[in-house]
Amino acid sequence: MSFELELLEQRRAKLEQIEALGFAAYPYKFDFSHTVAQITEAYASQSAEELAQAKPEVRVCGRLQAIRGHGKAGFADLTQGGSRLQIYVRKDAVGERAFHLYELLDLGDLVGVEGYLFRTRTGELSVHVTNLTLLAKAMLPMPEKWHGLQDVEARYRQRYLDLLANPEVRKVFAVRSRLIRALRSAMERRGYIEVETPMMQPQAGGAAARPFHTHHNALDLDLYLRIAPELYLKRLVVGGFDRVYEINRNFRNEGISTHHNPEFTMLEFYQAYSDYRDLIALTEQLLPEVVMEACGTTSVEFGEYRIDFSRFHRYTMRQAIREFWPEDASRPAIEDFCDRRRTLAVVEAWNRLNPSQPLLAPPEETNGSTIANLFEAVCETKLVQPTFICEFPVEVSPLAKSKPDEPGWVERFELYVAGMEIANAYSELNDPEEQRKRFEAQMALREQGVAEAHGMDEDYIRALCYGMPPTAGEGIGIDRLTMLVTNSRSIRDVILFPLLRPETATPDGSQ
RNA sequence: GGGCCGGUAGCUCAGUUGGCAGAGCAUCUGCCUUUUAAGCAGAGGGUCGCGGGUUCGAGUCCCGCCCGGCUCACCA
């Protein structure tokens, strides 16, 4: 028998002994008078004398995280919801039967205790137990008590153990929850209505990404998991919801990295009678507001940086390439991006400065794509403090409205923080004829083999034909924002169950 | 997909030039009625990720594979 099975057998035997003592192995409930957190908070300031006088009675439950035996007495740490409370079990106080139960307990067991509060010789608030019950047994051993669970793979695969063994993980997800709650209430305060739009779509639109495929049997219908809610949310704006938002999952069938999980959470919202400038103003208000609510400050540690969400920088994409160009002699001019040949010369200059990582700019690529790629290569990692990058090439923005004076550029911004794209927003294109032309241009790209190019969406164009008010829309990546406010270097550390290969045994027995 | 790093007891980790598979925690037995990384004495626990190869001998060297991490590419 393997050691692991032996441990399991030991605990089965203990559970049988516990039942033989007359305790239920899996009782149905425990009537607690306090949570552990309520007790530690309410009695924190009471002295040993005050407690000895009052002997406050409590019924409290949780998981045993440490057991310290002393012969005919013993201590244990009861944890619940990330809080800890010591219990003290004496044979003469609980009786033979309950003390025998105490001796059969293992680390990880869930128990309920009844007793009175006191302070030990060393001053620690503890429950002097008069009644002990088992609520559920841990049949497998818990991770080690002071190093926690370190194995990264095990932490993701068995997140429940990660949460039990590593208190800071629990904190990350508490902050994530506060952040989402803050965003929701910030949107509600501004008069936005929360909606839910289809996750399964006959056509995956609203972004440039490859989708996941699925199938509905009864309708015999091929469907895609959505890559963005955008086109549905704008249909709702046509329908008269002037301010809508959705906080939900998007699915993109792309690579996995420290900044990308195949499913990720976005806040996406639309505001009628507004343009992207209004959304810059909104974002400048919104982020400090929600970051303050989630962490109690607007400036947060992120790796080697301190990120200040109360101050925003701003460049156009063309300005940013100039600004962050590494060398004066070859610094491009704004006019260099007007024409294909001059843009390619800028790429060549960049590649001369970075021969090890040359930027590929195939001749058939649109000039807009080349400029956007150039921007990412030159600037992205340097945008540490919150920075708006405004005005994108029309070729990479098929759903955004052109600038009135420069049809090749659109009214759009992306917000960068710590080298990551956090938000993306634009003045929405609401001219159905122009939208049709944009879709046609995208389809032409798709024919050239650009798999993530946008498809034609006739129903969306029909919706625009009924008239969409001038509208601005924005998406904010919740996972990445959570990374920033929890100082997490990997997106997997802010997603409870990140996608991993399943741990199935292969024919040769390996994993 | 490329590059680099890792996988040894339930957990956290050592393992030297190729020479008997180790420690701490956890577990088990005994002692212990205010400890808190409780303590003391003893015991058990291993497919060294998987499969080949080299060798008298492989955790260690070589090849292939699996899983994971970081990074580059792609993307948000």
**pLDDT by residue, tens only, chain A of 511 residues:** 577 788 999 999 999 999 999 999 999 999 999 999 999 999 999 999 999 999 999 999 999 999 999 999 999 999 999 999 999 999 999 999 999 999 999 999 999 999 999 999 999 999 999 999 999 999 999 998 888 999 999 999 999 999 999 999 999 999 999 999 999 999 999 999 999 999 999 999 999 998 999 999 999 999 999 999 999 999 999 999 999 999 999 999 988 899 999 999 999 999 999 999 999 999 999 999 999 999 999 999 998 899 999 999 999 999 999 999 988 989 999 999 998 999 999 999 998 888 777 888 887 788 999 999 999 999 999 999 999 999 999 999 999 999 999 999 999 999 999 999 999 999 999 999 999 999 999 999 888 888 888 999 999 999 999 999 999 999 999 999 999 999 999 999 999 999 988 876 443 333 3
Residue nearest to nucleotide B36 (CA to C1'): A68
CA of A153: nucleotide with nearest C1': B68
What's the Å distance between residue A482 CA and nucleotide B66 C1'? 33
Query: Residue with CA nearest B25 C1'?
Result: A144
Amino acid at residue number A402: S
Q: Is the ipTM here above 0.85?
A: yes
Å from A254 (CA) to B73 (C1')?
A: 12
Q: How far is the CA of A70 from the C1' of B41 (A)?
A: 15
User: Which nucleotide comes closest to A256 if you measure CA to C1'?
Assistant: B75
Q: How far is the CA of A107 from the C1' of B31 (A)?
A: 22
- Closest nt to residue A70, judged CA to C1': B32
CA at A131, C1' at B4: how many angstroms apart? 57
Report CA(A154)–C1'(B65) in Å, whole number.
21
* Separation between the CA of A117 and the C1’ of B69 (whole angstroms): 46
Residue nearest to nucleotide B13 (CA to C1'): A147
Judged by C1' against the alpha carbon of A3, the nearest nucleotide is: B45
**Nucleotide with smallest C1' distance to residue A13 CA:** B28
Spatial CA neighbour of A324 closest among A248, A258, A379: A379
Strand B nucleotides, any atom under 7 Å from protein beta carbons: they are: 1, 6-7, 9-13, 24-28, 31-39, 44-47, 49-51, 65-76
Which spans in A239-366 are helix H?
276-295, 317-323, 340-353
* Dihedrals phi, psi of A89, to nearest 5 degrees: -115, 120
φ/ψ region of A22 (left if φ > 0, alpha if ψ in -120 to 50, else beta) reads: left
Shortest CA to C1' contact from A157: nucleotide: B68
Helices (H), A248-403: 276-295, 317-323, 340-353, 367-379
- Give CA–CA dist A88/A7, Å, rounded: 26
What is the C-alpha separation between A330 and A333, in angstroms, rounded?
9
In Å, what is the separation between the CA of A3 and the C1' of B16? 30
Polymer length in residues for chain A: 511
Per-residue CA distances from A39 to A116, A126, A217 (Å): 11, 10, 54
